[in-house]
């Protein structure tokens, strides 16, 4: 993923000032989020949050179908295509296209995930028609000029070379490849040093023709705009896309390799560790209980069990966390840390012990109460900018949570009982782990499943 287009000095300052003002306008709890469903004249649906206090419009969208649609021998097609969507479109080559974005203070970026392609647009209200027109050109008429393709390909290849000596990247890539052999999720989103040179401009055009379509589209708009104007802009951006995508079928899959430990030797000062196993899908009735349990285990806060046992009590790592990951065709619990070579075995032993203990005993009543409080407050605090709100609304649509989910979320958290948490802890954490280690861990070797 590339950063958003840089803006010229004056335009950048104007947009930055307005973004800061928008953040203040949305600062919770001063402003409630009211979501409207908008349908454009062409039938394109979006969720809209109006904010008339700042003349700024933010749009976020997602399309199902991304790296999971890459050919088996050409991993990285979707990612390369996403990086090139703003590198020339319609009559404008890359330089001319960027110049037009900069002159109007328009920020436009795209990124590819494992099974969704996402895009972000930020613009001043006065430039909204041009901004949405340029977005529409990017999606419906990308150029994929040879100069741009080779330039962006070279940038990605350079990044991949650096990752070959990054223990965290090597550990993560090997974890996914082992968990999902012979499946799209096992291939790296950015591709490999072997696959990227094989990708042609025709591959990129084939991907965009098959995947970029209105039936796979989820959109959110936040800013100084009403429903009628939003509908017109939606048609400018997405109206020329085909009605239906031609997606390849992807099979549901469960993480493999549980009980295995894979040690990869790399001459680096610290050892990187990736660990994880099957999770619980977003549509599962037990998801919210699993979300709370995972927060207690290692969900990114300083109060988690893994952080307390690995970092605070023993000082074995600077940080450690895990998270629930839900994709279209699988669900995971996956985490990572980095530690000294001579402490790697002990660190893994503690991780496995804490996971087993939480699976067997479940959380305490105090842990459950604190987790609920944190998860409710942090969610609200995360809705503090136009782009964060738009991103959350798109994710809610991808997850089929309903337009009233923000209003219902606290109640869903509060409804989880201690008995629920204990039952789901066992369901989530009692499956074993796949562990990948990269570095020179002392006295630690690979092992097969127990």
Q: Which residues contact 378 (CB under 8 A, 6 or more apart)?
A: none
- Do 268 and 357 sit in the same domain of this protein? yes
Domain that holds residue 311: 261-439
- Do 234 and 287 sit in the same domain of this protein? no
Q: Indicate the pairing of strand 45-50 with strand 36-39.
A: antiparallel
Q: Where is the domain boundary, 206, 238, 270?
A: 238
Question: How far is residue 56 CA from its own chain's centroid?
Answer: 24
In a domain, 418, yes or no: yes
pLDDT for 14 equals: 53
Round to whole Å and give the CA distance between 49 and 31: 11
- Do 113 and 162 sit in the same domain of this protein? yes
pLDDT for 20 equals: 54
Q: Where are the alpha helices (DSSP H) in 104-242?
A: 128-140, 146-163, 167-179, 201-211, 227-238
In a domain, 448, yes or no: no
- Do 234 and 286 sit in the same domain of this protein? no
- Do 96 and 163 sit in the same domain of this protein? yes
Round to whole Å and give the CA distance between 418 and 436: 33
In a domain, 445, yes or no: no
Q: Where is the domain boundary, 204, 238, 272?
A: 238
- Do 421 and 308 sit in the same domain of this protein? yes
3-state class of 98 per DSSP? helix
| Model confidence pLDDT, tens digit, residues 319-328 | 999 999 999 9
- Do 203 and 265 sit in the same domain of this protein? no
Sort 37 into a burial class: Cβ within 10 Å, 0-12 / 13-18 / 19+: exposed
pLDDT for 354 equals: 98
Q: How many domains does the chain have?
A: 2
- Do 390 and 329 sit in the same domain of this protein? yes
Q: Indicate the pairing of strand 217-223 with strand 434-439.
A: unpaired
In a domain, 185, yes or no: yes
Q: What is the pTM of this model?
A: 0.92
CATH assignment of the domain containing 275: 3.30.830.10
Q: Which residues contact 252 (CB under 8 A, 6 or more apart)?
A: 329, 330
Low-confidence ranges of the chain (pLDDT < 70): 1-31, 450
In a domain, 110, yes or no: yes
pLDDT for 322 equals: 96
pLDDT for 214 equals: 97
94 closest CA partner among 153, 133, 138, 58: 138
In a domain, 389, yes or no: yes
In a domain, 139, yes or no: yes
14 closest CA partner among 51, 56, 53: 56
- Do 162 and 298 sit in the same domain of this protein? no
Q: Indicate the pairing of strand 116-124 with strand 317-326.
A: unpaired
pLDDT for 88 equals: 98
In a domain, 3, yes or no: no
Q: In what order do the strands lie in the sheet with 107-112?
A: 36-39, 45-50, 217-223, 56-64, 116-124, 107-112
- Do 323 and 205 sit in the same domain of this protein? no
- Do 133 and 190 sit in the same domain of this protein? yes
- Do 275 and 324 sit in the same domain of this protein? yes
């Amino acid at each position: 993923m590339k950063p958003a287009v840089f803006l010229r000095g004056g335009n950048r300052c104007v947009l930055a000032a307005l973004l800061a003002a928008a953040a203040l306008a949305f600062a919770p709890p001063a402003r409630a989020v009211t979501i409207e469903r908008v349908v454009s004249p062409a039938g394109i649906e979006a969720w809209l949050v109006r904010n008339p206090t700042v003349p700024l419009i933010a749009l976020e969208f997602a399309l199902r179908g991304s790296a999971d649609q890459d050919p088996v021998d050409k991993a990285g097609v979707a990612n390369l295509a996403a990086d090139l969507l703003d590198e020339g479109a319609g009559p404008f080559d890359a330089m001319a296209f960027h110049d037009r974005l900069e002159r109007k203070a328009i920020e436009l970026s795209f990124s590819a995930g494992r099974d969704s392609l996402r895009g972000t647009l930020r613009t001043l209200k006065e430039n909204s028609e041009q901004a949405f027109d340029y977005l529409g050109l990017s999606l419906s008429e990308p150029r994929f000029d040879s100069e741009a393709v080779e330039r962006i390909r070279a940038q990605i290849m350079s990044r991949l070379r650096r990752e070959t000596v990054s223990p965290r990247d090597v550990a993560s890539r090997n974890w996914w490849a082992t968990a999902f052999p012979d499946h799209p999720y096992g291939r790296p989103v950015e591709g490999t040093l072997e696959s990227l040179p094989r990708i042609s401009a025709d591959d990129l055009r084939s991907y965009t023709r098959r995947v970029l379509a209105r039936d796979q589209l989820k959109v959110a708009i936040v800013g100084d705009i009403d429903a009628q104007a939003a509908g017109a802009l939606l048609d400018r951006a997405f109206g020329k896309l085909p009605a239906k995508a031609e997606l390849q079928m992807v099979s549901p899959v469960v993480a493999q390799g549980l009980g295995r430990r894979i040690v990869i030797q790399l001459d680096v000062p610290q050892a990187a560790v990736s660990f994880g196993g099957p999770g619980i899908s977003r549509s599962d009735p037990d998801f919210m209980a699993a979300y709370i349990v995972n927060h207690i285990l290692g969900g990114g806060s300083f109060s988690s069990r893994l952080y307390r046992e690995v970092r605070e009590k023993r000082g074995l790592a600077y940080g450690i966390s895990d998270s629930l990951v839900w994709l279209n065709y699988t669900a995971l619990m996956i985490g990572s840390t980095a530690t000294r070579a001579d402490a790697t075995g002990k660190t893994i032993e503690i991780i496995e012990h804490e996971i087993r203990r939480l699976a067997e005993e479940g959380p305490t009543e105090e842990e459950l109460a604190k987790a609920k409080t944190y998860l409710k407050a942090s969610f609200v605090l995360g809705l503090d900018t136009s782009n964060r709100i738009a991103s959350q609304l798109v994710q809610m649509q991808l997850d089929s949570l309903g337009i009233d989910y923000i209003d219902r979320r606290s109640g869903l958290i509060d409804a989880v009982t201690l008995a629920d948490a204990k039952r789901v802890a066992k369901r989530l954490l009692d499956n074993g782990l796949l562990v990948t280690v990269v570095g020179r861990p002392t006295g630690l070797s690979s092992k097969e499943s127990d």
